Amino acid sequence: MATNGNSYATTKPPPNPSPLRNAKFYQANMRILVTGGAGFIGSHLVDRLMQNEKNEVIVVDNYFTGSKDNLRQWIGHPRFELIRHDVTQPLLVEVDQIYHLACPASPIFYKYNAVKTIKTNVMGTLNMLGLAKRVGARILLTSTSEVYGDPLVHPQDESYWGNVNPIGVRSCYDEGKRVAETLMFDYHRQHGIEIRIARIFNTYGPRMNIDDGRVVSNFIAQAIRNEPLTVQSPGTQTRSFCYVSDMVDGLIRLMEGSNTGPINIGNPGEFTMIELAETVKELINPSVEIRHVDNTPDDPRQRKPVITKANELLGWEPKIKLRDGLPLMEEDFRQRLGITKKT
């Protein structure tokens, strides 16, 4: 019988729609896409995924806020691939899992080109869901505590729908992430895509951009440079800070578990910005000045996660306290700034 050179055409049954996922070979070899993998959280996630020698990791990033430097230890590794790509454009790769992180996270960067931020959240997530649908991959979205906006419920659990200004300067990010969550659930309901949604609360650690304007990176860089710590008014606003290794652990548990989420991943230890400044001063530079400065619009007044769901469904809880995490970040910042600690 003629086969047109394709032995599958007539002599064998058609291939399973996702043969690699089901084959024994592939259970032991997971190909994982990390969008935004050159960024802060993404690069730590890649480090953890690469430690498992059964994983192959593909990173796509447009380097808007990320850097190849964050991945330098993996460039050239046979199980690692780095692609310059903007997620607002379609992507054709064959993968089993997608960690979709691509999106600037710092307010100064996501406000810098607000239209691009919302495109990244909406078109980027749509493209990654299209990819997940085509190849049958499981996809995890890194959503944010910002979906709760300026919360009227405190602390925030996942059932709270939020208090978000739809036309404010932060909306490109927080409304963008809300639409991204909607897209995830619509693809799940309509197309049966396996989804996971993490609502990430403020995360800190080594490799944060030194000048990205986020509060922990600002205070640490300022303390090291002996510049005033800029507490934006009123200073009584609160945040809850999660160390990056805890965050990565939570994301992987969520991906590997069976619950779609959304699930809060964050450290419930809650601090005012004045308390944070005082802690940084005490730990890093006792002689530094704390200066009160103006704030930006729509700054949430309080934020603290309820993590019961993460605890019960994923067996996850953060391990690193703020006082233990800050010195680890200081070490990294001192190295990058080239300023050693005076003894």
The answer to whether the CB of 37 falls within 8 A of the CB of 68 is no
Chosen residue from 36, 37, 66, 107 binding ligand UDP by CB under 6 A:
107
d(CA 103, CA 65): 9
Which residue in the block uniquely carries the two structure tokens 């995360």? 203
149 contact choice in ligand UDP, ligand NAD, none (CB below 5 to 8 Å, kind-dependent): none
> Nearest distance from residue 124's CB to ligand UDP, in Å?
19
142 contact choice in ligand UDP, ligand NAD, none (CB below 5 to 8 Å, kind-dependent): ligand NAD
Chosen residue from 91, 215, 247, 263 binding ligand UDP by CB under 6 A:
215
> Nearest distance from residue 230's CB to ligand UDP, in Å?
4
Among 99, 173, 187, 243, which one carries the catalytic annotation? 173
Distance spanning both ends of the chain, measured CA to CA: 83
The answer to whether the CB of 157 falls within 8 A of the CB of 199 is no
d(CA 263, CA 316): 11
Residues at the interface with ligand NAD (CB under 6 A): 35-36, 38-42, 61-66, 86-88, 101-105, 120, 124, 142, 144, 200, 202-203
Binding flag, residue 214, ligand UDP (CB under 6 A): yes
> Nearest distance from residue 69's CB to ligand UDP, in Å?
22
Binding flag, residue 202, ligand UDP (CB under 6 A): yes
> Nearest distance from residue 209's CB to ligand UDP, in Å?
12
Residues in contact with ligand UDP, shown as a per-residue x/- string from 293 to 312 under the rule CB under 6 A: --x---x-------------
Q: Is 173 annotated in the active site?
A: yes
41 contact choice in ligand NAD, ligand UDP, none (CB below 5 to 8 Å, kind-dependent): ligand NAD
Between CA 238 and CA 248, with CA 200 as vertex, the angle to 5 degrees is 120
Q: DSSP 3-state assignment of 173?
A: helix
DSSP states along 76-137: T-TTEEEEE--TTS------SEEEE--S--SHHHHHHTHHHHHHIIIIIHHHHHHHHHHHT-
d(CA 247, CA 232): 26
Could you give the C-alpha distances from 156 to 63, 66, 234, 270, in angstroms and in order? 32, 29, 21, 12
- Chain residues binding ligand UDP by CB under 6 A are 107, 202, 213-215, 218, 230-232, 237, 239, 273, 295, 299
Active-site residue numbers? Answer: 173
